[in-house]
Structure 1
Amino acid sequence: MKNLTLTTDLLILALFLFSACGNQTALAPAKGEDTARPNIIFIMSDDHTTQAVGAYGSRLASLNPTPNIDALAADGALFSHVFCTNSICTPSRGNIMTGQYSQTNGILTLDDTLPPARQYLPMEMSKLGYQTAMIGKWHLKAEPAAYDYYHVLESQGKYFNPEFRASDAGTWPDNFVKYEGHSTDIVTDVTLDWLKTKRKKDQPFFLMHHYKAPHDDFEFAPRYADYLENTHIPEPANLYDQNQPDFGSEATRGVNDDLRNRIGTSVSDRHPYRSYTEQYGITKTPRDSATSAAYQEYLKRYLRCVKGVDDNLGRLFDYLKAEGLWENTVIIYTGDQGFMLGEHDYMDKRWMYDESMRMPFIMHYPAGIKAGTKSELLINNTDFGPTMLSLAGGETPDYMQGRSFAEYLDGSEPDDWRKSTYYRYWMHLTHHDVPANFGLRTKDFKLIFYYAQPYKEKLIGTGSMWWKEDSYPITATPVAWEFYDLKKDPSENVNRYDDPAYADVIASLKDDLREMREELKETDENYPRFQQVIEANWDK
């Protein structure tokens, strides 16, 4: 590792000197800059899914929603197999901050807190001599005190006229700073101010720059009101049930579809208490016409928020180039998870289906990444911290469960890299009516087990916050398995769990899943109620 770091440092220095000679105006470092090690900027948007990043070539790519992000990918590396271990805001951020899975770091649900003593990533960066800053959406409740500087949105954060808590504005939790304007613009303004006035030029920096957008309910800046207004947004075929008759299981549809209207909030009017058809007041007939109209409104609002993020990143990137920081800064762009954009008639995230589980992940680093690199390395968000620490010249601490992929930024894949990644969603039927589940995703297959039990027994019998009445209490729902052949069925429309042709594959994946749960300390030792259900249904 030490020899690798030395070689990398020399390469960085050589390439920097070469680029500086060729473009002294845009790329020359400011006087007194420390260029021996790269700066690192970790950019994360909330709920920005791969389907809405042009570089990933999805059905939305023709709309050109992200030209600045796409250019970043073209000049760097695009990773196509990056997944979260729990598709929901707080646990995903906990994984990134700790390099640990949820039962190890204690961040299982939206209700959990990451105290300063476990804010490992900025702590380790500080040990390596980096100036650290956290700006934007934090969503981990406790003060981000492990950072040298923070300026974070209050709780979830408001889109308009947001409040922040700032390390230079008093004592937590009363250190409020209020702004007028749109949060995406303001987060960028705060970051630019930190780079201009608070950054120490004789020290490398580690900056986490996090947007609220494009989180539900997609309140875009007024200047984007006409964006895509007269454009038809391409629809996923499986938005409509008739196009996916073999999708799901009794866990997600019930026996003879008796829970199809109960499980998973929807774009159509399928879900009785939360759908975009109802939310946007769409009354068109027939039903598919109303669903299509709701989808169009949903996507336009969402993509207007995405456009705001991309435009603001253009501002940030222009500043980095003008100040000579572009060549010696590792820039990472990602979302905190994926997001369902109408696939399977679902909204939000939480699901283990790829649109929800997959994270966009783009890295730009001229000194260390060849332009146009594509990687299929199977990565999850516990790996982000170890990788950034490695790029900063450090090593992965023993307490982190993730693994650095800094040695494989050329698109290569070592033989000893993981062959599958683990997923776990805990918040059974909370907010968006997704059953509790866990499973494995390999490059070719996906195995999902819905154990479908409430996380806390005291929740049994109480209604979700989105329900208008308690007609549907939070109770256990049917337990079932789902299995998808991702090569033949990348949209996950056909559950092949009962197909005898896959019996050996499924048995092998079950063995791997059990072994991985033990290795990662995800065995539910503190939840005997779950263990009983799991063991009773493992071989069914």
Structure 2
Amino acid sequence: MKQFVFFVLSIFMAHTACVAQTSEQPNILVIISDDHAYQTIGAYGSPLTQTPGIDRLAKEGALFTNAYVTNSLCGPSRATFLSGRYSHMNGFKDNDHSTFDFNQDIFVKRLQAAGYQTAWIGKMHLGENTPQGFDYYNILPGQGEYYNPDFIATGGTRTRHEGYVTNIITTLSENWLDQRNPSKPFCLVVGHKATHRTWMPDLQDLGAFDNQTFPLPATFYDTYATRKAAQQQDMTIAKTLQMDYDLKIFPSREEESKMGAIQRMTPEQRAQWDAYYDNIKKDFEARKLNGNALTEWKYQRYIKDYLATARSLDRNISALLKYLDDHDLSKNTIVIYMSDQGFYMGEHGWFDKRWMYEESFRTPMVMRYPGIIKPGTKINDYIMNLDLAPTLLQAGKATVPAAMQGMSFLPLLKGQAYTSRKAMYYHYYENTVHHVSPQFGIKTGRYKLIRYYERVEAWELFDLQKDPQELKNVYPDKQYTKIVTGLKRQLLQLIEQYKDADAKKIFLSAVIKN
């Protein structure tokens, strides 16, 4: 009898210790999507679609109305998230030439030292290397595939999983949560492939938006009259979006079968896929479109496939939230949903990202933190993906490295003393894909000053109060001379603050020339 009582007391004491520990150190779940535009999220007022999963987080927590990235590109964004440092400091500047150095200090290592068990499941996209800082990982190689994707698990084992990638990532995440040590707090990063190009919806979502006709964005036929870099890009729906690769209108079944993403499908998946897109192709060929009519048809197909791909993403976010509910984890788990950057949904006639213009620079972010964030909160302060690492470390009672360049916004969430940013610094490096020129710049409450270099040598200034769609570059306008002088001074201060030596050289050279 004494042994039984001791056994029961031991279980009770272990449970009490577990509760005490996790009440001080909240669990952390970060869900990162790829290329998911805030314009397509209900909580941001989107007229395009419904997103009940993401919207639930916004209702039960906070909607960040001014969340931004340091470098609008997949890999660099994740590198900044992990390191809390700008691209020039963490070493991952672009997807073409960079591999992330996991030997550096990243926030998950600090959480491990503070007693957390850590995992990353899904898309990581940080080069061909072995992740560090994670007790477990099961990640997509590179960009990954939508259908029957391969995953690389802890230790390097590569396995193909049959099914749709977004669903598989959720299943793997739930499996890890089932098997974790419940006496320790956890930090799980769920990286989704959706909604990255090329947009391939789950079979159950094919045609979900076919009965809708979406209005063209006001800037769809932008002429880029005052913007040299925009004139040289190659990312328009009219010219760049491919009929076969992007829109699934192939000249023949044989050509379709050459596409790697199609080759991965099972016969059953392929039959359902072809049945849908064969009807799309038949309708398209009957229309015999050209000119603006063809461009607008391409836009409709693009946005419908994009939104259908996002539909599964949101559904799986709901599934993970339900898992937390069902396992009594919701009350003590920080949940963050964010995209790795913004994305163009036809604004300026574009798809993709990269630019310091709002649709690309700004990213969706919502956060639930029970007991700390009041449900339905809107946070209008400037927050950057740079800030997540120190914020999560503070929340997890872990040490924040002095080398981190982000600033914790935990005091803001708690209603404590907090000094908000007055300006944000941005630097994009890649000089290949879509012919987008490298650029750096500063955004304040009213103005945005951008310096382009290498591909295009030019300055741009936008008065966001008068021109929120960023259509008119007023840099040459003499009435803005004092504004330009002040912004350049601020820009140089940020360049020096963040120790961007390359940008400083370019800036000083440009100032001398201009």
Letter in structure 2 aligned against 1:49? A
Letter in structure 2 aligned against 1:165? I
3-state SS of 2:171 partner: helix
- Is 2:195 the counterpart of 1:214? yes
Please say if residues 378 and 443 of structure 1, whose CA atoms lie closer than 8 Å, have aligned partners that are also in contact.
no
Could you tell me how far apart the structure 2 residues matched to 1:289 and 1:148 are? 53
- Is 2:187 the counterpart of 1:187? no
2:434 corresponding residue in structure 1: 432
Out of 254, 275, 293, the residue aligned to residue 241 of structure 2 is 275
1:513 corresponding residue in structure 2: 491
- Is 2:358 the counterpart of 1:354? yes
3-state SS of 2:230 partner: helix
2:130 corresponding residue in structure 1: 143
- Is 2:92 the counterpart of 1:107? yes
Please say if residues 462 and 472 of structure 2, whose CA atoms lie closer than 8 Å, have aligned partners that are also in contact.
yes
3-state SS of 1:397 partner: coil
Q: Which runs of 5+ in 1 are unaligned?
A: 1-28, 254-261, 454-476
- Is 2:488 the counterpart of 1:500? no
Give, in angstroms, the shift of residue 276 of structure 1. 4.6
Could you tell me how far apart the structure 1 residues matched to 2:512 and 2:410 are? 37
Could you tell me how far apart the structure 2 residues matched to 1:154 and 1:303 are? 24
Note closer, same or farther for the CA distance 1:536–1:495 as it changes in structure 2 (3 Å cut): closer
3-state SS of 1:351 partner: coil
Note closer, same or farther for the CA distance 1:237–1:157 as it changes in structure 2 (3 Å cut): same
Q: Which runs of 5+ in 2 are unaligned?
A: 1-14, 250-283
1:155 corresponding residue in structure 2: 142
3-state SS of 2:433 partner: coil
Out of 422, 425, 433, the residue aligned to residue 422 of structure 1 is 425
Could you tell me how far apart the structure 2 residues matched to 1:426 and 1:413 are? 35
Higher helix fraction: Structure 1 or Structure 2? 2
Please say if residues 102 and 108 of structure 1, whose CA atoms lie closer than 8 Å, have aligned partners that are also in contact.
yes
Give, in angstroms, the shift of residue 403 of structure 1. 0.7
2:56 corresponding residue in structure 1: 71
- Is 2:455 the counterpart of 1:481? no
Out of 466, 469, 476, the residue aligned to residue 491 of structure 1 is 469
Out of 154, 164, 174, the residue aligned to residue 151 of structure 2 is 164
Please say if residues 77 and 409 of structure 1, whose CA atoms lie closer than 8 Å, have aligned partners that are also in contact.
no
Could you tell me how far apart the structure 2 residues matched to 1:125 and 1:517 are? 29
Note closer, same or farther for the CA distance 1:239–1:317 as it changes in structure 2 (3 Å cut): same
Letter in structure 2 aligned against 1:340? Y
Please say if residues 49 and 307 of structure 2, whose CA atoms lie closer than 8 Å, have aligned partners that are also in contact.
no
Could you tell me how far apart the structure 2 residues matched to 1:230 and 1:532 are? 50
Note closer, same or farther for the CA distance 1:501–1:307 as it changes in structure 2 (3 Å cut): same
Give, in angstroms, the shift of residue 523 of structure 1. 2.0
Give, in angstroms, the shift of residue 32 of structure 1. 5.2
Structure 1 segment 324-343 matched on structure 2, within 5 A: 324-343=328-347
CA-based RMSD: 2.2
1:128 corresponding residue in structure 2: 114
Runs of 4+ in 1 over 6 A off after TM superposition: none
3-state SS of 1:215 partner: coil
Out of 178, 183, 198, the residue aligned to residue 202 of structure 1 is 183
What is the TM-score when the length of structure 2 is the normalising length?
Answer: 0.85
Please say if residues 110 and 399 of structure 2, whose CA atoms lie closer than 8 Å, have aligned partners that are also in contact.
no
Could you tell me how far apart the structure 1 residues matched to 2:62 and 2:411 are? 13
What is the TM-score when the length of structure 1 is the normalising length?
Answer: 0.81
- Is 2:233 the counterpart of 1:229? no
1:396 corresponding residue in structure 2: 400
Could you tell me how far apart the structure 2 residues matched to 1:413 and 1:503 are? 36
Could you tell me how far apart the structure 1 residues matched to 2:211 and 2:402 are? 54
1:252 corresponding residue in structure 2: 230
Structure 1 segment 293-304 matched on structure 2, within 5 A: 293-304=297-308
- Residue deviations 1:355-393 (CA, integer Å, cap 9, x gap): 011111111012110011111111111111001111112
Could you tell me how far apart the structure 1 residues matched to 2:492 and 2:437 are? 20
Out of 26, 30, 33, the residue aligned to residue 45 of structure 1 is 33
1:18 corresponding residue in structure 2: none
Could you tell me how far apart the structure 1 residues matched to 2:402 and 2:17 are? 38
Please say if residues 91 and 101 of structure 2, whose CA atoms lie closer than 8 Å, have aligned partners that are also in contact.
no
